[in-house]
């Protein structure tokens, strides 16, 4: 009998297993097969200062193809960002879903080389660089002044590929999402946009609080990342994959940047430090 692992996982992405250290590893499924990048979610918050904290977010890979019946339909419906309860069976070092159930339909959307990066991100990045910092964060607000998103910016220095590290799960962003979830009164799914602008050397991780709200729809429209204001939320949502660049975000798309004494998203007073890469 194959060994199994059961738990709660974040579906981080669906892709071929990344080439790490120059050695491509397609697992038992084969070099050309697609796999899900999964991150196991801890039952309790992870202390970023703990010696094994980074290991808690090591990605694992599950075969995305070759399922049949109800399980096949369930696996085909998975999208990056979904949280699932799953049982994985391990064969020859590769994992396959034995059971899977979606428990939260948060979405991750990735776009590389985007044009027209929205103003809140650009202005915040200028402030961060002026202070000599490689990482920063703000809370964005709607026109009514209500918080609507947590925006994190990471330097994309020459010789590094921060966007790819985020997309493959090697640079964990789960703590950023977890922090938002812990701070909100609602239990709704989020929309997480990972954007690398063509004209700036940073990567933005934008955790939008309301997946079905105007802000999330506007960002999807702007960067051609799925159903948005123009199309409305039709029956195909939350589908609509895409990594295409697009035009400028309207000035009011993300609201005004929060300039609250550098406390960062959600005005938290905890000791979370994005420099820990956690």
Q: Are the CB atoms for 149 and 138 separated by under 8 Å?
A: no
- Residue 105 or residue 55, greater confidence: 105
- 2.40.50, 3.40.50, 3.40.1000, 1.20.5: CATH of 4-19+32-104: 2.40.50
Q: Does the pLDDT value for residue 22 go beyond 50?
A: no
Of 22-26, 37-41, 119-123, 207-211, the poorest mean pLDDT is in 22-26
Q: What ranges do the domains of the chain cover?
A: 4-19+32-104, 107-231
- Residue 94 or residue 20, greater confidence: 94
Q: pLDDT tens, 226-249?
A: 765 544 444 344 444 443 333 333
How far is residue 130's CA from residue 276's CA, in Å, rounded to a whole number?
21
Q: Does the pLDDT value for residue 105 go beyond 50?
A: yes
| Three-state secondary structure call for residue 270 | coil
pLDDT at 254: 38
How far is residue 177's CA from residue 191's CA, in Å, rounded to a whole number?
10
For 134, list phi and psi in degrees, rounded to 5.
-90, -10
Across the range 54-75, mean pLDDT stands at 90
- Residue 273 or residue 164, greater confidence: 164
| 167 — pLDDT class (breaks 50, 70, 90) | confident
Percentage of the chain exceeding pLDDT 70: 71
Its pTM stands at: 0.76
Query: Looking at the DSSP assignment, which residues form a beta bridge with residue 6?
Result: 87
How far is residue 254's CA from residue 122's CA, in Å, rounded to a whole number?
12
DSSP readout, 143-207?
TTS-EEEEEEEEE--TT--HHHHHHTTSS--HHHHHHHHHH-S--PPPEEEEEEESSSSEEEEEE
Across the range 92-107, mean pLDDT stands at 92
How far is residue 117's CA from residue 197's CA, in Å, rounded to a whole number?
6
Q: Does the pLDDT value for residue 1 go beyond 80?
A: no
How far is residue 140's CA from residue 263's CA, in Å, rounded to a whole number?
13
How far is residue 90's CA from residue 203's CA, in Å, rounded to a whole number?
34
């Amino acid at each position: 009998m194959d060994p199994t692992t059961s738990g709660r996982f974040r579906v981080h992405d669906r892709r071929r297993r990344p080439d790490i250290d120059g050695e491509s590893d397609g697992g038992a499924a084969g070099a050309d097969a697609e796999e899900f990048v999964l991150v196991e979610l801890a039952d309790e918050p992870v202390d970023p200062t703990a010696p094994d904290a980074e290991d808690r977010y090591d990605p694992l890979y599950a075969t995305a193809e070759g399922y049949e019946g109800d399980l096949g339909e369930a696996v085909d419906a998975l999208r990056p960002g979904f949280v699932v309860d799953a049982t994985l069976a391990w064969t020859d070092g590769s994992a396959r879903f034995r059971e899977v159930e979606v428990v939260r339909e948060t979405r991750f959307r990735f776009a590389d080389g985007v044009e027209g990066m929205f103003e809140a991100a650009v202005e915040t990045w200028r402030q961060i660089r002026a202070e000599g910092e490689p990482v920063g964060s703000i809370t964005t607000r709607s026109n009514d002044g209500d918080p609507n998103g947590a925006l994190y910016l990471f330097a994309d220095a020459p010789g590094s590929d921060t966007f790819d590290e985020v997309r493959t799960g090697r640079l964990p962003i789960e703590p950023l999402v977890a922090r938002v979830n812990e701070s909100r009164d609602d239990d709704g799914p989020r929309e997480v946009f990972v954007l690398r602008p063509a004209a700036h050397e940073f990567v933005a991780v934008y955790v939008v609080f309301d997946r079905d709200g105007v802000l999330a729809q506007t960002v999807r429209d702007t960067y051609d990342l799925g159903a948005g204001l123009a199309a409305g939320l039709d029956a195909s949502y939350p589908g609509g994959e895409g990594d295409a660049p697009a035009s400028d975000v309207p000035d009011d798309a993300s609201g005004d940047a929060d300039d609250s004494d550098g406390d960062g998203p959600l005005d938290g007073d905890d000791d979370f430090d994005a420099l820990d890469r956690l």
